[in-house]
Amino acid sequence: MHTCPPARFWGILVLFCIIIPAGQSVSPLWTVPAPSGVDVSTVALSHDGSTIVAGGDQLIALSPDGTKLWSGWSGTTLDLSQDGRYIVTSQGQTVRLFTRQGVLLWDQPLGDSVTGVSISPDAAIIVAGGGNTVRSWYNSGSGLGENATETVHDIRLSPVKDQVIVATAKALRSFNLSYVPNWYDDTFSPGIVEISGDGTGIVIPNGNHLRMYHGSGTLLWDRSFPGGNIISLAYSWDGSTIVAGRDDATVLVVDRAGNLLWTGRAGVWVTSVGVSDDGSTIATGSIDNQIHVFNRQGTLLGASTTQSPIKSRSVAVSGDGSLIVAVDLSNVYGFSRSQFTLPVAPSTPEVTVNISPGTAPENMTPVTTVPVAGIVPSRSGNASVTATGTTSSSGFPWILTFASLALILVARKK
C-alpha cells in the first residue's frame, strides 16, 4: 500500500534545500558602498595587493581589508604601479597621476578623450591613448613622446619598458617609449591587448580568435575557439595562462602555446576577468551580477552575487591570488582566496574544442612617424580624503536555518 512520507521527512528536506544552496554562495569579506548618486564602473588592484582603486564618477582608494583611504576626483580608466604607490587615471581628455595617499602629482591633457592608460611596474613611465593620439610621460610629468594613429581602443606599456602596444581601429601597433614605430599588423582591428610580465608575450582577441605575438612582433599563433566573441581578457604575469570571457556565457582558459585548457560557464556576458601570477586563481564577472572563481584546472571553487551588473575591467586578482576585488555600479567588493576552497557542482569543466592554427601575416612593415608635439608643463594638487566606510558582509543567512528548524518542530507535533 502506498504511504506518504512522514511530516518530519518533509521538514528535513526543506532544511537541506535551504542550507545547501546558501552554502555554495560566497559572501564578500567586506563591501564598500559608493556615495549616493555616484556610479563606479572599473577597478584596479596593485600587483602586491596593497592598494585597490575603484573608478567612475569618483575615485575610491581602499586598503586590502576594505578600509577607505580616500575618495574624490573622478576617473574612467585606471592603472597602478606594482607596489600601489602610484595611481594613473583619466577623466575626459586629462591624464592624472596620484600618490597612494591621494595627492595629485600632475595632470596632463591628451588632446582627445582618453580610452586607455598604463604605468610601468616601477611607475617610471606613464602612457595614454585616446582618439587619434598617443602620449608618454616620465613620472615627473615631463613629456617623453607623442604620435598620431588610428582611433585608440586600448594601450599597454610593456612591463620591461621596451615598447608601447596600441590596439587601434585598424591595426595592432608597437612603438618605442617616444612613440617611434617598431612594427605593426594591420590584418585586423583589435579591441583589447594584454602583455606577460617579461614582455615577450602579447595577446590579442579577434572575435572568437586569440592571437599571440612575441614581443619582437612575430605572430606565434592564431587560434579559433568556436563559440561567442571574446569581450574580456587577462594574462598571467608568468605568461602561462590566458583567460578570455565571452558573450556566450562562457570563459575559456588557454596556455601560452595556444592549447585550450578548459571552458566553463560563468554567467551571461562575461564582461571582466582576472588571474593571479601563476594562473592558479581565476575570477570572472558578468553582466548578470555574477562573480565566479575557478582554479587553473577549471574547477569552480565558488560564486557570489552582486547588486548590479559587472562591466568591463571590473574584476581584479592580486599577484599571489590571495585577494579578489570587484565593482558593480554602486559597491566595491573584497574576497579572500581562502573563501573559495571547495568545488561547487558542476565542477567538471568543458574541454573539447577544435583548435585551428593560423599563419603569420607577411606585411609586418614599419610605419611612418609623425612629428612630436610639445608637452604641457605639470601641476600639482591634493585629492580629498574621507573617513572610512566599510560594510562587513553578513555571511551565512542563519535566519533561513532557524526557519527550517521551526518547520521541523511543527512537523514533529503533527
Torsion of CA 184, 186, 191, 194, to 10 degrees: -30
Place of cell 586600448: 154
**pLDDT value of residue 25:** 87
Q: How many CA atoms lie within 13 A of 126 on its CB side?
A: 29
The β-bridge partners of 274 are 283
- Which pLDDT value is given to residue 158? 98
Contact 375, 143 (CB under 8 A): yes
How big is the chain, counted in residues? 414
* Structural domain spans, the chain: 7-413
- Reported as half-sphere exposure (CB side, CA atoms, 13 A), residue 219 has a value of 21
The C-alpha cell 527550517 sits at 404
pLDDT tens, residue order, the chain (414 aa) = 444 444 444 443 333 333 333 336 899 999 999 999 999 999 999 999 999 999 999 999 999 999 999 999 999 999 999 999 999 999 999 999 999 999 999 999 999 999 999 999 999 999 999 999 999 999 999 999 999 999 999 999 999 999 999 999 999 999 999 999 999 999 999 999 999 999 999 999 999 999 999 999 999 999 999 999 999 999 999 999 999 999 999 999 999 999 999 999 999 999 999 999 999 999 999 999 999 999 999 999 999 999 999 999 999 999 999 999 999 999 999 999 999 986 655 444 554 333 333 333 333 333 333 333 333 333 333 333 333 333 333 333 333 334 444 444 444 444
In this structure, are strands 86-91 and 250-255 parallel, antiparallel, or unpaired? Answer: unpaired
Question: Is the pTM value of this prediction over 0.85?
Answer: no
Architecture of domain 7-413: 7 Propeller (2.130)
Q: Does 159 sit behind a cis peptide bond, omega within 30 degrees of 0 on the bond before it? A: no
Q: Which pLDDT score is estimated for 345? A: 53
What type of residue is 177?
Answer: L
CB atoms under 10 Å from CB of 371, counted, come to: 7
**177 contacts 145 by C-beta, under 8 angstroms:** yes
Among candidate residues 390, 314, 400, the one with its CA nearest the CA of residue 64:
390
* C-alpha cell, 387: 573617513
Helix (H, G, I), strand (E, B) or coil at 112: coil
The H-or-E segment that residue 378 falls in is none
Within its chain, how far is the Cα of 187 from the centroid? Answer: 27
Cell of 4: 506518504
